[in-house]
Amino acid sequence: MSLIVMKFGGSSVGSTERMQRVARRIADYKEAGHKVVVVVSAMGDTTDDLIDQATKLNESPPAREMDMLLSTGEQISVALLSMAIHKLGHSAKSFTGWQAGFRTESVHGKARITDIQPDRLFRALDQGHAVIVAGFQGMTDDGEITTLGRGGSDTTAVALAAAINADVCEIFTDVDGIYSTDPRIVKCARKLNEISYDEMLELANLGAAVLHPRAVEYAKNYNVRLVVRSSFTQNEGTSVKGEAVMEQGIVVRGIAYDKNVARISILGVEDTPGVLAKVFGALASSGIDVDIIVQSGVQDGKADFSFTVGLGDKDRATAVVEGIRGEVPFRELETEENLVKVSIVGAGMVSNPGVAAKMFEAIYKLGVSIKLVSTSEIRLSCIIAAEPVHDVVRALHTAYGLDTAEQAFVGGPQDRR
């Protein structure tokens, strides 16, 4: 008998028919003798619909009230799924995040988990129930409901698997594993049998939507056995683990892209010590994450430098830089949108010369200019114009020998929660 955590995203439970399919899969696990804990997202577009209703009433709704509102979506899902399991002749018990023992910091909209007290879940398991837990939510020590932000249900599932020492955490989605790139763009994308935590973390941070970075971090830190598989088929999924076997001749394991990018350029800055510390210290104090930073050469004692931020942070970042102009004088401030970050990831890149040159050549052949470049031991990222991104991804996929003769399986619209 194994203790298994299963996570189903919103599209997997987006209709009555899909809910019944999920219930049947849980029942099959129960009938095989396993103990099962299931983490569920809100159904389909429920969260988006709730946000739309809120903003029609108030363009800037209070964060606390938004958490009160959005947490109801998962509560509906767990109750309905529990009912569907009962219909199949198995006992099930649903729990909100706070009933399941999730304690979080006091940050509405993107709280982090501080503790999990799963005593009630263990009692329910001992009584023979399938335990159904609302993802994406928790409660502060003083009783305030919080949500965990984007990817919160993935994080709930992996953190819970660590807390209850589960044998495996299975993430069910619309694709039957982790692919070398988005199979909606590249139909001949390569399905990976396994991938390392580090490679998956890079891909998740770089825009791959199949797993959220915080969930991968939890899996790595607590050595959670993680499997990504389809909720629509019985196909074997992809294992995310400490070390993954490298396929012969495959240096790049995955290609990701992120459209959530804006570039800010500060031109004509005095080339004096402490300038960068002042600029990026001010941005950090405002809670703005900075990604790629590039400084050009110095001319007449003046330097130019550029950096990227999330598209949603562009206006705030610009205001912060303008606000310190008295401390850090500069000639001009430029911003640019309609950009995308395209990245290649692979643990074998560091020991294989020519990987970067091949990427640059593939992009050059499409007539696309590279605006910024960033590297690490297992990752190379380029900022380019957004429009040709699909062509660039396909070209890179072919250039690194990742194309296969098989067609990737996609079951429905990809779920980002």
Return the DSSP state at 184.
T
What is the enclosing helix (H) or strand (E) of 152? helix 152-163
Confidence of residue 90 (pLDDT cuts 50, 70, 90): very high
Mean pLDDT calculated for residue range 196-215:
88
Measured CA angle at 184 (ends 361, 398), to 5 deg? 25
pTM, 2 dp: 0.84
Q: Is 173 exposed, middle or buried (0-12, 13-18, 19+ CB in 10 A)?
A: buried
- Give yes or no for a contact between 240 and 171, defined as CB atoms under 8 angstroms apart: no
Residue 398 has pLDDT above 70, yes or no: yes
pLDDT digits (tens, 9 = 90+) for 270-282: 888 899 999 999 9
- Give yes or no for a contact between 255 and 393, defined as CB atoms under 8 angstroms apart: yes
pLDDT digits (tens, 9 = 90+) for 347-390: 878 778 899 999 999 999 999 999 999 998 889 999 999 999 99
Mean pLDDT calculated for residue range 238-259:
83
Confidence of residue 414 (pLDDT cuts 50, 70, 90): very low
Contacts of 227 (CB under 8 A, 6+ apart): 168, 169, 170, 171, 237, 238, 239, 240
- Give yes or no for a contact between 333 and 375, defined as CB atoms under 8 angstroms apart: no
Query: What pLDDT, on the 0 to 100 scale, is given for residue 410?
Result: 73
What percentage of the chain exceeds 90 in pLDDT? Answer: 76
Query: What pLDDT, on the 0 to 100 scale, is given for residue 412?
Result: 53
Give the residue from 29, 55, 43 showing the smallest Cα distance to 135.
43
Residue 176 has pLDDT above 60, yes or no: yes
pLDDT digits (tens, 9 = 90+) for 213-237: 899 999 999 999 999 998 888 888 9
Mean pLDDT calculated for residue range 6-32:
94
- Give yes or no for a contact between 396 and 388, defined as CB atoms under 8 angstroms apart: no
Residue 415 has pLDDT above 60, yes or no: no
Confidence of residue 72 (pLDDT cuts 50, 70, 90): very high
pLDDT digits (tens, 9 = 90+) for 180-193: 999 889 999 999 99
- Residue ranges with strand state E in 162-206: 168-173, 178-179, 191-192, 194-196
pLDDT digits (tens, 9 = 90+) for 303-358: 999 999 999 999 999 999 999 999 999 999 999 999 999 999 988 787 788 999 99
